[in-house]
A and B are shown apart, each in its own frame.
Chain A
């Protein structure tokens, strides 16, 4: 995770376009100023960042299914549950699947686990629109390459 750049997904492990599912990996940093305040002597990954991690994971799935032609933006968070603490240094496995494919929007079910145990889950709604400018699309393609986006996953 590059918390300073709000890039929370480190590596795409698998995208299944047919099942409309994605699995990614995210490593919580061992040291970060966030943990100095959240909380002193008891560092915890903030729940909102776990939600964002699930949102970004869902976003990569949607970008893939939309052939890098549209950009998803988080619109609603439902049924988010923080089931256990996430601490510095943990490796997270994040999974997301399409729950509904609407017109200009999509709903995903996402979950994070570590060591085989689910730590949080949520249902997320996204609006998606054509990329507002070529720069953003170029940026997303660059990041996709860095985190191991499999080009053949594009449908």
Chain B
């Protein structure tokens, strides 16, 4: 059985940022809870892009947060990030 998107993301974060896997939950905020900075997040984005065959729209997300049109929780709480990834994967197949 394929592991869930969250499991794959959590494994990528654990391996990329040397964070214990069991401390990473669907409710974890990548920045606020896990302390991942923007440079480390590039490595995570790289790994996610490769693993899922997508291109996380980081620039768009950052712009939306800076413009007050979105919150960081929408993109960086891992259950939400996983949902965004699923949407991007689904859109790719359309």
- The chain A residues found within 8 Å of chain B, CB to CB, are 75-76, 100-105, 107, 125, 127
Contact = CB atoms under 8 A, between A and B. Distances in A.
A100 B39 contact: no
B21 interface: no
A103 B57 CA distance: 6
| Chain B interface size range | 10 to 19
Say whether chain B's binding surface is mostly helix, strand, loop, or mixed: helix
Interface of B: 39, 42-43, 45-46, 49-50, 55-60, 62
A100 B56 contact: no
A75 B59 CA distance: 16
Nearest to A127: B42
B39 A75 contact: yes
A85 B60 CA distance: 44
19 contacts: A75-B42, A76-B39, A76-B42, A76-B43, A100-B49, A102-B42, A102-B45, A102-B46, A102-B49, A102-B55, A102-B56, A103-B45, A103-B56, A104-B59, A104-B62, A105-B46, A125-B42, A125-B46, A127-B42
Contacts of A102: 42, 45-46, 49, 55-56, 58
A103 B59 CA distance: 6
